Structure formats: C-alpha cells, structure tokens
Structure 1
Amino acid sequence: MKTVLCYGDSLTWGYIPGGSGRHALADRWPNALQAELGAGVNVVADGLNGRTTAYDDHLSGFQRNGAKTLTTVLGTHFPLDLIIIMLGTNDMKAFICGNAQGAKRGMQRLIEIVRTAPYQFNAHPPQILVMSPPALGETEGPEFRLTFEQGIEQSRLLAAFYRDAADIAGCAFFDAGSVVKTSPLDGVHLDAENTRAIGKAVAPIVRDILDL
C-alpha cells in the first residue's frame, strides 16, 4: 500500500467560495485523487485554512505556519511514499509576506524539512511533488479583495518560481493553475468542479512518481 500526503491550505481543506462551508468529501481534490488512484494507494489530506509556507499569522488562533507544523504532520503519517505540497496562496497576503519570491523561499524550506525530518524505524523521506496553486483572481467581495488584491500580480509568478525551486531540489512539479481557475465569488477558492479537476489532473503524475 502506497501512502500519499496532501499538505495544503483551504484549497486542500475544501473551502467553498464565498464562505458558505466545506465541499463534500468527493469534491475535495485529495479525495478525487484517491478515486483516480484506487484502493492500492492511501491518500491522506492535511489542509488548514490560512496555512502559509513558512510565515507566522499572528491574527489566527491556529498555528498556520506550515514550516512549524510539517514535522508533526510527517511524524503523524509516516511512512510516506509521496508528499504533495500546495501552499503559497496565503503568503500573498500583504501582512503575511506579499511576494512570490518569499513564497518560493518558504517552499524551499518545506522541501528541506521533508528531507531532514527525524523519521523513525529507518523510514526514508518521501518523494516530493511541489504544486503551485492557481493564481488569485479579481473579485468584488470586499474581505478577500482587500486582503489579497496587492498579491494578485505576485500570485501569477508562483508557478514559474515553484518550478524553479522544484528543479533545483530535484522534485516533481505541477501547476494547478494550468487546469483550474479561482471562483469570482472571492478570487481565492475553488468551486466543486475545479477542486475535483486538480485531483484528476495530478493523478497521472502521481502514478508515474509511484511507478504504479
């Protein structure tokens, strides 16, 4: 049995655009990936709303710094064959980081953590698939517009920056923005069709990585 961990933010958690709740299990991309891969693979989803790559959010009651929680998550779910990391959207908040270069550095830190974590029982570090989130979009919703509007242009750079980080580190890469777009309801999140599309699109890449 192969195990794949999906480490992400609200796009992985399944946040419904406009703040009306959480997508049904079947509509979340890790579950769509599970459906595509079948029973021989166990897909574990770990998504937290507001999670960043490696930056603190002092406005939250949760620990949203992905670098600070990653070792705990790895220790909880190991042994792992693959970890898919899709983070960076929340880095685009001006009061968090606000630029793609910072998000790239954060992603590089996450890669380093995966490869140096203190795994037990002679477990090996999992392979890594870096996945860039779709670019932020324009929206009339005041909360998300004011929170993310300065990061829209920077978010469009994430795919190229993450591809470079993945190439340098010898990781696989996939641009989720090549198959989905954010909802105009808030410019950040995905409707059910789009979040399912990520799972379906990334499945062939996962099969290749795991030699299925």
Structure 2
Amino acid sequence: MKHILAFGDSLTWGFIAGIWERHPFEVRWPNVLAAGLGGQARVVEEGHNGRTTIFDDPSTVDDRNGARALPMLLSTHQPLDLVIILLGTNDIKFANRCRAFDAAMGMTRLVQIVQTFPFLPAYKTPQVLVVAPPALVPTTDEWFNDLWGHAIEESKLFPHHYARVAKEMGVHFFDAGRVAKADPTDGGHLDAENTRAIGTALVPVVKGILAL
C-alpha cells in the first residue's frame, strides 16, 4: 500500500462556507481521493484552517505557519510515497503580502523541506504534488470580503506561479481551479460538490505519479 500526506488549509480540512462547520469525512477531497484509489493507498488528511505556506499569523493563538508544521508531520507519518500540498490562499489575504508570487516562494520552501528531510534510512524521499488553489470569487459576506476581497485578482495567478515552482523543483503540478470553484457564500471555501471534484480529479493524477 502507498502512503500519501495531504497537507493544506481549510480547503483540505473541509470548511463549509456560511456555517463554519466541517464537511463530512466522505466529502472532503483527501478522502474522496482515497476512495477513488480503491484501497491502494492511505491518504492522511492534514488540513488546518488558516494555514499559510511559511508566514506567521499573529492574529491567532494556533501556529498556522506551514513550514513549522510540515517537518513534524513528515516524521510522524513516514514512510510516505507522496506529499500533496494545497496552500496559498491564506498567504495573500494579508495586505502586506498580497501576491501569489509570495505564496509561490513559500511553496518553494515547503518543497525543499520535503526534498531535504532526513527520513529514516529505510525510507525513500516522497514525491511532491503542488496544487494551486481555486481562485477567490466575489462575496456579499462583509467579513470575508474584508478578509480577502482585495486579493481576488491576485488569486488568479496561483497556477502561473505554482507551475513554475513545480517545474523548477522537479515535482508535479495540478491546478485545482480547473475542476473546482470557490463558493460565493464567503468567496473562498468550497461547497460539497467542489471539494469532491478535487478529490475525484486527483485520482488519475496520483495513479500516474505512483504507477498504481
């Protein structure tokens, strides 16, 4: 059996727009992916609401810096055959770093962490799949519009920057925006149909990467 780590933010955790609750287990994209792989792989879902690639968020008590969380998870869940990273939206919601390029720099660091991590001698370094998040969309929700409404156009640049990072780092790339769109209820999270769509679309991608 293959082992996959799904490392992400609220899109991986399964945040439901409008009601601040979590999608059921079988709806969340990592588990849809696992089901589609038909028992050939175990997918560990590691989603954290608000997680960034490498940036601190001083507004919250929980540590949302992905670069600090990732090494612990690589150690905890080894052996791993594939690490899927779906992050970036929370990087650009802050006015002082509202660029998809900044998120791409953070993604580069996360890929480096995986590629250089000291796994146990018996285990190989896993492959990496970088996933660009769906773009933000306009919302009438005042709070969420204030949170990331200014970053809508910037969020459309994720695929461009992430594809370049993946090519430079020699890893795999997938644009989730090709199969899923954010829920206008809050402009950034996914409804059940769209989070399922990511998991379903990743099935043939992951099968190709892992030769399943």
TM-score (norm 1): 0.98
What is residue 120 of structure 1 aligned with on the other side? Answer: 120
What is residue 160 of structure 1 aligned with on the other side? Answer: 160
Q: Per-residue deviation at 1:135?
A: 0.3
What is residue 106 of structure 2 aligned with on the other side? Answer: 106
What is residue 169 of structure 1 aligned with on the other side? Answer: 169
- The Cα offsets for residues 146-203 of structure 1, whole Å up to 9 and x where unpaired, read as 0101211110001110001001111111000000100010001000010000000011
CA distance in 1, matches of 2:39, 2:149: 41
CA distance in 2, matches of 1:71, 1:14: 23
- The Cα offsets for residues 51-94 of structure 1, whole Å up to 9 and x where unpaired, read as 00110001111110001111001011011000000000101112
For residues 37 and 96 of structure 1, do their structure 2 counterparts lie closer, same or farther at Cα, with a shift above 3 Å needed? Answer: farther
CA distance in 1, matches of 2:113, 2:126: 11
What is residue 7 of structure 2 aligned with on the other side? Answer: 7
Q: Per-residue deviation at 1:131?
A: 0.3
Aligned: 1:139 with 2:132: no
The two structures, once aligned, show a CA RMSD in angstroms of 1.0
CA distance in 2, matches of 1:19, 1:72: 31
What is residue 64 of structure 1 aligned with on the other side? Answer: 64
What is residue 199 of structure 1 aligned with on the other side? Answer: 199
For residues 14 and 143 of structure 1, do their structure 2 counterparts lie closer, same or farther at Cα, with a shift above 3 Å needed? Answer: same
Contact 1:56 1:96 in 2 (8 A): no
Counterpart of 1:99 in structure 2: which amino acid? R
CA distance in 2, matches of 1:20, 1:170: 37
Q: Per-residue deviation at 1:96?
A: 6.3
Counterparts of 1:27-66 in structure 2, within 5 Å, are 27-66=27-66
- Which deviates the most, 118-127 or 107-116? 118-127
What is residue 151 of structure 1 aligned with on the other side? Answer: 151
State, as a whole percentage, how many aligned pairs show the same letter.
50
Q: Per-residue deviation at 1:19?
A: 3.3
What is residue 21 of structure 1 aligned with on the other side? Answer: 21
Aligned: 1:188 with 2:188: yes
Counterpart of 2:168 in structure 1: which amino acid? I
CA distance in 1, matches of 2:25, 2:96: 30
Q: In the comparison of the two structures, how many residue pairs are matched?
A: 212
TM-score (norm 2): 0.98
Contact 1:86 1:131 in 2 (8 A): yes
Moved over 4 A (4+): none
Counterpart of 1:111 in structure 2: which amino acid? V
Q: Per-residue deviation at 1:102?
A: 0.3
Name structure 2 gaps, 5 residues minimum.
Answer: none
Aligned: 1:80 with 2:77: no
Name structure 1 gaps, 5 residues minimum.
Answer: none
